[in-house]
A and B are shown apart, each in its own frame.
Chain A
């Protein structure tokens, strides 16, 4: 299997989702409280993440690969299955779909309701922008490190995330509006399947279990999680119908 591509693809897709979510908040801050405040908060968020990566990154190289695979595999499993479960519940109609336009309107409404400070910095706007970039960025950092470090393809994982950042920034700069037409739940579903598969694979490797078919088992895990997720959507919709609350689509 092409390790670089198999790591870069989920890194790109997962980062795309996170960057779209961060961009929505930063755009709402910029439109209501000024682009200087939005930019200051966003840059501070990027700087905080860079400091965290610089502090933690070198430590990863000192951890034995089996221990790293087990620890990262378990974290990736929890992270991926959380995403997958939520995407399944959204597809089935149990949870409402994530709506970037609604998030934008809510953030802009909340910030617009407070008075603009006279002179000085608008700390509320800067903090909102900072939180969005730092929190969504933290997920990107985790995904890049988890996928890249365990597979020995950190550059490919980072390239996938960087490409996603470029795509979202260019689209956001061109539109100056939330990227509401991005099929976010479909992306989360696909990424949830991939991260769950990677997490399961590395957890088993860390526990010294043996996969039939070696690396190709990863493809089997992706198909397995895809099948299980499809079945879960059908079962959840059937449960909703049985309750009489109906299920969309």
Chain B
């Protein structure tokens, strides 16, 4: 059981390092998926907005880590 858990942790570690950063990315993706489902903005506008949000999360997370 311990080995299975260790393997699962290693696998999760491939994608998640800073939990707050990963949570912010997940929430942004969920919000964009919701916007798509509700038909908010045109499909052509949603893709660039997705990138802008991701870039903003990256900037905020880096600055937060530097300030800690």
Interface residues of A (CB under 8 A from B): 74-75, 77-79, 81-82, 84-86, 88-89, 92, 94, 135, 138-139, 142, 196, 200, 203-204, 207-212, 217, 221, 224-225, 228-229, 231-233, 235-237, 239-240, 243
Contact = CB atoms under 8 A, between A and B. Distances in A.
> What is the interface residue range for chain B against chain A?
20 to 34
Contacts of A78: 15-16, 22, 25
A207 B33 contact: yes
Interface in B2-59: 10-11, 14-18, 21-22, 25, 29, 32-33, 36, 42-44, 46-48, 50-51, 54-55, 58-59
A208 B43 contact: yes
Contacts of A210: 42-44, 46-47
B63 interface: yes
A77 B25 CA distance: 9
A243 B59 CA distance: 18
B1 interface: no
Interface of B: 10-11, 14-18, 21-22, 25, 29, 32-33, 36, 42-44, 46-48, 50-51, 54-55, 58-59, 61-63, 65-67
Contacts of A74: 29
Given A89-B66, A240-B66, A211 B58 contact: no
Contacts of A75: 15
A247 to B, nearest CB: 9
B58 A135 contact: no
